[in-house]
Amino acid sequence: MKVLVAVKRVVDYKVQIRVKSDNSGVETQNVKMSVNPPDENAIEEAVKLKEQGIATETIAISIGDDKCQDVLRTSMAMGIDRSILVKSPNTLEPLAVAKTLKKIIEKEKPDLVLMGKQAIDDDSNQTGQILSALINWPQGCFVSDLKIEGQKVLISREIDEGIENLETALPAVLTCDLRLNTPRFASLPNIMKAKKKPLESIEIDSLDVDTEAKIKVLKVVEPPKRKAGIMVKDVKELVQKLKNEAKVI
């Protein structure tokens, strides 16, 4: 079984986000970038499937400029066998990303596609669902537990009412939740080994994909500052303020 893992390069989750001075977007110059956290769970699950003897090959794919090689090298340091970089000078919307992944899937013919449930930069939560529709594969979203038995895929996912258990068949598209596993640390020896693993580069123009943006960003601004709270002397005063000033009770 071949497993394809989609990996996105995003601003590191520990970095304080800053808006550009012209309000055109978020500042990414001279900012630490890393693998999208839910994508790390997808990488870990693919590596675990390889270690269990279920997967025979694991492939990481990222779409972006040459700088995306660092997240692919990190993926291989975590245990992925090889990587593919689809070089694109522009940031793509989920529809264009899904169309690009479809082209790679047609070429590589994986049995399972794993990706994070959503990216922490745009929070779109769309790519996996769109990809599933484009290639007509079953999908499982927000997967918190995964078991593969032959051609059967057993999925657990958290919903408002509790845990939902689903069963589907391969091939499938799965988006991974943070509760699925704990991503392993990329050790220094494995980082050195990852430098020798194959990393293929493909120009996005060669895939004949429509990458034109369908959404125009008008303005990006920081959220308004929260007003300072006030101290109350006792519960009675608190109730009075909630009733008379805030009017919430």
DSSP SS3 for 206: helix
The answer for 146, left when phi > 0, alpha when psi is -120 to 50, beta otherwise, is beta
CA-CA distance, 190 to 194, in Å (whole number)?
6
- Statement: residue 94 has pLDDT above 90: yes
Cβ 94 vs Cβ 129: under 8 Å: no
Dihedral pair phi/psi, residue 208, rounded to 5°? 55, 55
Domains of the chain (ranges; CATH) run: 2-223 (3.40.50.620)
CA-CA distance, 211 to 204, in Å (whole number)?
9
Contacts of 13 (CB under 8 A, 6+ apart): 34, 37, 120
Look up the pTM and report it: 0.86
Q: pLDDT tens digits, residue range 119-153?
A: 998 899 999 999 999 999 999 999 999 999 989 99
DSSP H or E stretch at residue 85: strand 82-87
Q: What is the mean pLDDT of the chain?
A: 93
Q: pLDDT tens digits, residue range 187-204?
A: 899 999 999 999 999 999
Mean pLDDT of 28-46: 94
What Cα–Cα distance (Å) separates residue 63 from each residue in 129, 184, 205?
18, 23, 12
CA-CA distance, 124 to 86, in Å (whole number)?
20
